Structure 1
């Protein structure tokens, strides 16, 4: 039998170990990959018009380690994205493998063409760096095609101007009082108290507080006009309060602070990804009176024991987000750059959103012990705001609710398209930096929900409901409880929910 001797490597051909990355190389390597992960989520959400979170929320989540570098890379890549896409198409260098990691390719291409060439350790980096000449040639051809002589002119052609506005923070009074927060923040910044929301502070624009100790330990939260929403609900300590669409949780923990940690806040959220952020926010706040439920708000039975004693509901449902495009940095997204906000698809999306918003507000009115409901959106569109309230007013009145005036000293009110518009509150994205809408419903003392009325029929008389179904009164008395109390309830409350343990 022949014997084969294993080939021994010579001392000169010994296997070389890969050199260790320096700190700068490691930082650049991981920042690009964290930025690519965020960019993928942002672009996918924008393409489907169903963003999981804003750019800032994604970047400043606990899972992102190098937040400053990641945030800068994501924003700069988005600003240059139209150019980057044109350059990559013109260079024709991407194979199927790198097309599957196209967000990372976008990030690295930005760094090669427009960023600082600090380090290009990594397989994707080496692939694109070897094709740098092709990328530069494609960029030069793009300049010729656009009839521009300088790269700066091309950037100005594509870019949207930055929006500058004051930085607002809300003091988490569960951990720190307002005066102590002022003393600490004034060591570095000019700080003023907001004249509308007691716990809100205003700082100069572009103050970067993300690494500030008070933010890191949950003593203050970076919150703007949305801080008005929980304050408008004004729940009393000891109440049971429901936050119907709670993530990312800033309003939820504000409710807990307004209640001084007493009573209970039920935080309901359906989206699996967003509930992780909600749980993190609750932990950071130190609130002990919040229970997080992974559940669809529409699946909650108002008569079930966990919800039958709810006294107030904060309903801030999914909306277009059209009032917070500057804060969310939506002006950097491809859909905004392409002017999709006025197209047919956007109109259809707004119609669907409004239908869901009406359904959610209808459901909120069915909770038997509720005394106060705040309906709010970060939208500037009438279809999501005044139109929703107008369609619900007859039902609200049948349950004993009326519109009340949140923040009477506020000057900007609703559009005059319904009776009682002067009770509604609006903020303007131009003058007030964000566009919010708030409607406050208060139940008149002694009003109750009749148990036989369904959400969809309670504002109709028995005769009207009989005519609607073409039934006799006798048939209506027999069939209506079964139809609306049984089938509708089975449909509405069929989805399961479970509680998230934060301990």
Structure 2
């Protein structure tokens, strides 16, 4: 009997087909790329927080030119940080990460957030596929943690800080090296309501939440997203066009390029920055602003020799050193960082860290005071702590006075002054985190004697230069007169001789 053979059509229906990998959609590719970008930002953020020396805030890292999908990346980083302690507990409880994937832990944190709390993760990525296979184990681990903590939902476990919801206006500083305020207002008013700030020239106020990071004026450096208090520091220093100025701790460079604009691009600004990564950001901002009078110096301000002839004509120094950042913590989203969570509450103060910071701040301020030709120094911080503000200023007052410096009042019309911890604290300026939506501190030292002597010398030199042409003319006339008299006497002598006298 002949064996039965299936027809070709039947064979095609029963033939086992190999699975075909479906090409990821544009949305899936975009999500995949955003998770990788978010992982890089998260790595920099966590490393900086662990060292207590961040390269930049979460916002500045996300909105750097290297990040393309800014909106999705920002959302992923913030949400992952909010849930980070839970994500770490879940991954540890489930014990699903092999040694290979532990090397990419920031990416695994991002994917785990999407898998457990966010959108469904697409399978277009090896890391995504790996964690998707472990999804049941992760969800079981999360359920056990909730039961152990005695809560029913993740929201109960999070206990998110409501202060993070504080909203403040979007401040925009016009870069007058490129455009004027009127042009900026006309462009921005096409999308937003715009007001002028009554304290800082060329500073505009837009509604809270105005997203300008992709606006053409931001991308070409015509405007900078800079807070009001931060913008007040350069204005308080008041450098004149043609001056030589030092920005002692300058990265990321917002205050540096503000100084350049106030100086109308004339004179010279030496912008010091010690951190290599921050130097790159500083250079990018200087180039973007078109601040041609800025020279970036990769080095420690404390290593500059005040007696070096190259600094003999420095007339102003802006010193905005490393500080606790307590005044702008919520604006920088510091409440999302592990160090903040570990402290328990936002009111916790790391006294040892503050004392260490204050020691460096005092040393830097004394160094700034030591430059022989300096007339004006601004010492500012984005801190709310007396230790970093009034105490630092008070500790150098005797030394400053011995060099001819006195405290001057920056922005006399500003209502909030320094804490009354010593005589003269009314000259200091503070902004309030509640009222002004950020905490900032500004002090201004002025060496009046030197400034007056130099102005007097300038006026005297100017007067001398004005008289010089007249003096030359008089000298020439006297010379001509003497020559004329000599010639006249000779003629008389010759005439007398001819007559036989």
TM-score of the superposed pair, with normalisation by structure 2: 0.83
Q: 1:192 to 1:303 in 2, by over 3 A?
A: same
The offset of 1:180, in angstroms, is 1.0
Q: Which runs of 5+ in 1 are unaligned?
A: 1-11, 449-503
Q: 1:139 to 1:118 in 2, by over 3 A?
A: closer
Of the three residues 173, 176, 184, the one matched with 1:173 is: 176
Partner of 1:241: 245
The offset of 1:27, in angstroms, is 1.8
Q: 1:430 to 1:325 in 2, by over 3 A?
A: same
Partner of 1:114: 117
Q: Distance in 1 between matches of 2:23 and 2:423?
A: 70
Partner of 2:67: 64
**Per-residue CA distance 1:140-191 (angstroms, 9 max, x = gap):** 2222223333344334468864221111111111111111111111111111
Q: Is contact 2:164–2:330 with CA below 8 Å preserved after alignment?
A: no
Moved over 3 A (4+): 15-22, 150-161, 340-345
Of the three residues 230, 233, 243, the one matched with 2:234 is: 230
The offset of 1:280, in angstroms, is 0.6
SS in 1 for 2:331: helix
Q: Which runs of 5+ in 2 are unaligned?
A: 1-14, 453-501
Q: Distance in 2 between matches of 1:415 and 1:289?
A: 37
SS in 1 for 2:208: coil
Structure 2 residue 216 is matched with structure 1 residue 209: no
Partner of 1:339: 343
Of the three residues 19, 40, 43, the one matched with 1:40 is: 43
Of the three residues 131, 135, 145, the one matched with 1:132 is: 135
The offset of 1:53, in angstroms, is 1.1
Q: Which has the larger radius of gyration?
A: 2
Of the three residues 332, 349, 355, the one matched with 1:351 is: 355
The offset of 1:22, in angstroms, is 3.4
The offset of 1:24, in angstroms, is 2.1
Q: Is contact 1:267–1:290 with CA below 8 Å preserved after alignment?
A: yes
Partner of 2:433: 429
Number of residue equivalences:
437
Partner of 1:308: 312
Q: Distance in 1 between matches of 2:304 and 2:252?
A: 20
Alpha carbon RMSD of aligned pairs, Å?
2.3
SS in 2 for 1:434: coil
Structure 2 residue 408 is matched with structure 1 residue 409: no
Of the three residues 78, 96, 114, the one matched with 1:93 is: 96
Structure 2 residue 325 is matched with structure 1 residue 321: yes
Q: Is contact 2:335–2:346 with CA below 8 Å preserved after alignment?
A: no
Q: Distance in 1 between matches of 2:261 and 2:20?
A: 56
Q: Is contact 2:213–2:219 with CA below 8 Å preserved after alignment?
A: yes
Q: Distance in 1 between matches of 2:396 and 2:390?
A: 10
TM-score of the superposed pair, with normalisation by structure 1: 0.83
The offset of 1:324, in angstroms, is 0.6
Q: Distance in 2 between matches of 1:251 and 1:165?
A: 20
SS in 2 for 1:265: strand
Q: Is contact 2:164–2:333 with CA below 8 Å preserved after alignment?
A: no
Q: Is contact 1:164–1:205 with CA below 8 Å preserved after alignment?
A: yes
Q: Is contact 2:279–2:298 with CA below 8 Å preserved after alignment?
A: yes
**Per-residue CA distance 1:3-43 (angstroms, 9 max, x = gap):** xxxxxxxxx99x99976543223222221111111111111
Partner of 1:471: none
Q: Distance in 1 between matches of 2:415 and 2:347?
A: 32
The offset of 1:266, in angstroms, is 0.9
**Per-residue CA distance 1:375-429 (angstroms, 9 max, x = gap):** 0011111111111100100110011000000000000000111110000001111
Partner of 2:487: none
Partner of 1:418: 422
Q: Is contact 1:371–1:443 with CA below 8 Å preserved after alignment?
A: yes
Q: Distance in 2 between matches of 1:113 and 1:16?
A: 28
Q: Distance in 2 between matches of 1:341 and 1:348?
A: 17
The offset of 1:74, in angstroms, is 0.5
Q: Distance in 2 between matches of 1:63 and 1:429?
A: 31
Partner of 1:330: 334
Q: Which structure has more helix as a fraction of its residues? A: 2
**Per-residue CA distance 1:216-274 (angstroms, 9 max, x = gap):** 11111000020011011011111111100000000000000011111111111110010
Q: Distance in 2 between matches of 1:315 and 1:107?
A: 38
Q: Is contact 1:335–1:341 with CA below 8 Å preserved after alignment?
A: no
Q: Distance in 1 between matches of 2:21 and 2:289?
A: 44
Of the three residues 367, 388, 394, the one matched with 1:390 is: 394
What is the 5 A alignment of 1:19-38?
20-38=23-41
The offset of 1:212, in angstroms, is 0.9
Of the three residues 212, 218, 223, the one matched with 1:220 is: 223
Asked which structure has the greater RCO (Cα within 8 Å, sep 6+), the reply is 1
